[in-house]
Amino acid sequence: MILTGPGIAAAVATGEISIDPFEPARLSPNAYDWRLGETLRICDGDLDAARPTTFTETTIPATGTVLEPGVLYLGMTYEKTGSETYAQMLNGDRTTGSLGIWVHVSAPLGHVGHAIRWTLEIRATKRVRVYPRMTFGKLIFLATAGDRASYQREGAKYAATEGIDISRLYTELAGGPR
């Protein structure tokens, strides 16, 4: 079951959902409109799942920055969101999609208990200028069924994420750094 906008607002008011900063005007009928943060990591060279990704980090100026096709950018949400009651699903939306921006296609699920600024995978089909804090997608909250287990349990791979995070798959692959 997806929470409605008023349901999200009520859950924020009771503390069941945290959205920081929270702006009621960003609520839509079934979602919260999240924004792009102010930092991008540009992945350097070829990527190897058995090795940590190298990157260059840049701050998006107020005048914006142009995303280039064929480049993998890692960004983060401006808002920090979480809930010990609801799972979250983060996606791009029609407005960014209409600009040829693919965002967060591979990992939209936020587990119960995961309170983070989301790391975003961003690709552009054409050159496109983006700006810090621009609306970039929709976040929905989903009711869960069954016993809940918080993602913050010890040992969860990304439980301690602070800001933009590279893939940690290399920690699982034989022959990669440990």
> Among residues 147, 92, 139, which one has the least CA distance to residue 115?
139
Pairwise CA distance, residues 136 & 98, whole Å: 11
Question: Catalytic site residue 121?
Answer: yes
Tokens of 135: 């609306």
Query: Strand, helix or coil at 114?
Result: coil
List 79, 84, 121, 162, catalytic entry? 121
Establish whether the linkage from the previous residue to 69 is cis, with ω within 30° of 0: no
CA atoms within 13 Å, Cβ hemisphere of 124: 17
Pairwise CA distance, residues 65 & 86, whole Å: 34
Pairwise CA distance, residues 110 & 94, whole Å: 21
- Which helix or strand (DSSP H or E) is residue 94 part of? helix 94-97
Query: Strand, helix or coil at 10?
Result: helix
Query: Strand, helix or coil at 130?
Result: strand
Residues annotated as catalytic are 121
